[in-house]
Amino acid sequence: MSTPTIDHVINGRRRSTGGAPIDVTDPATGAVIGVISAAGQAELDETVELARAAFEVWSRTSLTKRAAVLFKFRELVAARRAEIEQAISAEHGKTLPDAGGEITRGLEIVEFACGLPHLLQGTYSDQVSTDVDTYAYREPLGVCAGITPFNFPAMVPLWMAPIAIAAGNSFILKPSERDPSASLVLAELWTAAGLPDGVFSVLQGGADLVNAILAHPGIEAVSFVGSTPIAQHVYEVGSAHGKRVQALGGAKNHAIVMPDADITETADQLVAAGYGSAGQRCMAISAVVAVGGEEETGPLVKAIAERGRRIVVGPHTSADSEMGPVISPQSRERIISIVDEAEAEGARVVLDGRGLRVAGYEEGYFVGPTLIDGVERTSRAYAEEIFGPVLVVLHAKDLDEAIAIVNEGPWGNGAAIFTSSGAAARRFQREVQTGMVGINVPIPVPAGSFSFGGRKASLFGDTHVYGREGLLFYTRAKVVTSRWPDSALRPAASMAFPSEAKH
């Protein structure tokens, strides 16, 4: 049986091309389950041209008609969610309930975008000067592009496209080449919802296609989510080509655990946040900063290890699985080598997932939950984003030292504190240098009516994604000053700078 080709969606229709083939694998078995033929410059040029033509029509479409498409799209995604979950889990490896969670969070953004007639309301001031009124509103940009990572193949595209489209733009999605199929279902649902052809397109490919997008003169804005080095590259190259760019990078998210925290509840939360999706979430907790002496931190480490040991690791096709494989053999090898190094440096591997084998899935890219205590900050296990099911534990004598540890790191996506002290929580919230903060909440991904974004090496650009900041990113301001003088009262024109005497 031949391997299915994973198409592009150009002008509302699926199409494959003869570009360089890229295999898509099932991480639970290692089997090749699909193949992409990367889009080249010719397909990109054609897609941008069609998207530009579609923009001319879509941006003139009334707000009520646009809202109707968004509402319908929401309904269709909800109705077809099982199919999207299946597409995600087959290529990413995460469990079906985890895939369902990302669809629910993505739907929040669609629901926000459904409010577009309200969101796009401008402001108006009557009589700013005699017979002069001023009004401000925001216009769409044109053709926008989204470049997305493997770890959320539906949610991250849904962070971007619904808001861009609601605002009147066309949108070209370049999904991760590792799990590209969910994007095809989304494209089909946009069409079924009544979105005109060409407003939403999907082009499959890797780094070459990204670089072609960054240089394309017909693309006005680029939203990127992925690892820090590529985010920085996308920001610098896209900006140099005159585009508006928001580029979200990697992370190392800390959880500070105070001695007054409830240990059982906290350990439970940390296990879910550290090992869920095999640690492959940009908001995963990957470093625990345990505050206090051995008598306080020892039981915490023990509780995390005990809970982590009980996690059932396996393929998404088994309903018992709580955690799936990592995305690739290279990722698995890298994770294991980082744990080996930390151990050789003297850290204690309290829970060891390096040797895990899942019966019947020996070729899968599985790594079991791993907990390393006493990691040095110079160790790769702390200094690099691991993006696997590995939690490292650092120790701090008090809250000040713990906050300093978080703030001295290069990233600034999320950070959480577990405590029963309101004063400690408030000080942490005010002093920590991350874009998102959790108080007794391990993964503080903001609700759809807020916006998502980090600081430092976790975000290049000014605006966060989705919510109001997403709307700002996909629109630009226009301010109109209009004068309709009553001819009977018209004064003579003055050569001075226009102003009205205040006295």
Q: Which of residues 21-50 bind ligand NAD (CB under 6 A)?
A: none
Smallest distance, ligand NAD to C-beta of residue 452, A: 6
Comparing every residue's Cβ against ligand NAD, the nearest one is 226
Residue 465 in tokens: 């994604």
Q: Is 266 in the site for ligand NAD (CB under 6 A)?
A: no
Query: Which listed residue (167, 189, 210, 415) binds ligand NAD by CB under 6 A?
Result: 210
Smallest distance, ligand NAD to C-beta of residue 435, A: 9
Q: Which of residues 95 and 266 has its CB atom nearest to ligand NAD in the complex?
A: 95
Q: Which of residues 58 and 200 has its CB atom nearest to ligand NAD in the complex?
A: 200
* Interface segment toward ligand NAD; rule CB under 6 A; list 98-106, 141-149, 261-269, 369-377: 141-149
Measure CA 305 to chain center: 29
Q: Which of 107, 89, 106 is nearest to 98 (CA)?
A: 89
Query: Which listed residue (77, 147, 305, 372) binds ligand NAD by CB under 6 A?
Result: 147
Report d(CA 461, CA 450) in Å as an integer.
18
The residue from 282, 335, 371, 432 that is catalytic is 282
Query: Which listed residue (434, 458, 463, 475) binds ligand NAD by CB under 6 A?
Result: 458
Q: Which of 207, 46, 49, 247 is nearest to 143 (CA)?
A: 49
Smallest distance, ligand NAD to C-beta of residue 417, A: 20
Give the count of beta carbons closer than 10 Å to the beta carbon of residue 319: 9
Residues touching ligand NAD, count (CB under 6 A): 29
Q: Which of residues 94 and 395 has its CB atom nearest to ligand NAD in the complex?
A: 94
CA angle 478/482/483 to nearest 5° reads 170
Query: Which listed residue (134, 227, 328, 433) binds ligand NAD by CB under 6 A?
Result: 227
Q: Is 277 in the site for ligand NAD (CB under 6 A)?
A: no
Site string for ligand NAD, 373-392 (x = CB under 6 A): ------------x-x-----
Our answer to whether residue 282 is catalytic in this structure is: yes
Query: Which listed residue (79, 82, 207, 479) binds ligand NAD by CB under 6 A?
Result: 207
Helix (H) or strand (E) holding 8: strand 8-10
113 CB-side CA count, 13 A: 31
Q: Which of 166, 210, 213, 144 is nearest to 69 (CA)?
A: 166
On whether the CB atoms of residues 456 and 411 are closer than 8 A, the answer is: yes
Q: Which residues contact 337 (CB under 8 A, 6 or more apart)?
A: none
Smallest distance, ligand NAD to C-beta of residue 321, A: 21
Site string for ligand NAD, 149-188 (x = CB under 6 A): xxxx---x-----------------x-xx-----------
Q: Give the position of tokens 């925290």.
A: 261
Report d(CA 389, CA 263) in Å as an integer.
21
Q: Is 73 in the site for ligand NAD (CB under 6 A)?
A: no
Q: Is 248 in the site for ligand NAD (CB under 6 A)?
A: yes
Q: Which of residues 471-490 bind ligand NAD (CB under 6 A)?
A: none
Q: Is 250 in the site for ligand NAD (CB under 6 A)?
A: yes
Measure CA 258 to chain center: 29
* Interface segment toward ligand NAD; rule CB under 6 A; list 2-10, 14-22, 147-155, 290-298: 147-155
On whether the CB atoms of residues 309 and 369 are closer than 8 A, the answer is: yes
Dihedral Cα 391, 88, 188, 39, nearest 10 deg = 80
DSSP state letters, 433-481: --SEEEES-SS-PPPTTS-B--EETTEESSPPBSHHHHHHHTEEEEEEE
Query: Which listed residue (24, 88, 230, 291) binds ligand NAD by CB under 6 A?
Result: 230
Q: Which of 34, 121, 112, 45 is nearest to 73 (CA)?
A: 112
Name the residues annotated as catalytic.
Answer: 282
Give residues in contact with ligand NAD (CB under 6 A).
Answer: 147-152, 156, 174, 176-177, 206-207, 210-211, 225-227, 230, 233, 248-251, 282, 385, 387, 413, 454, 458
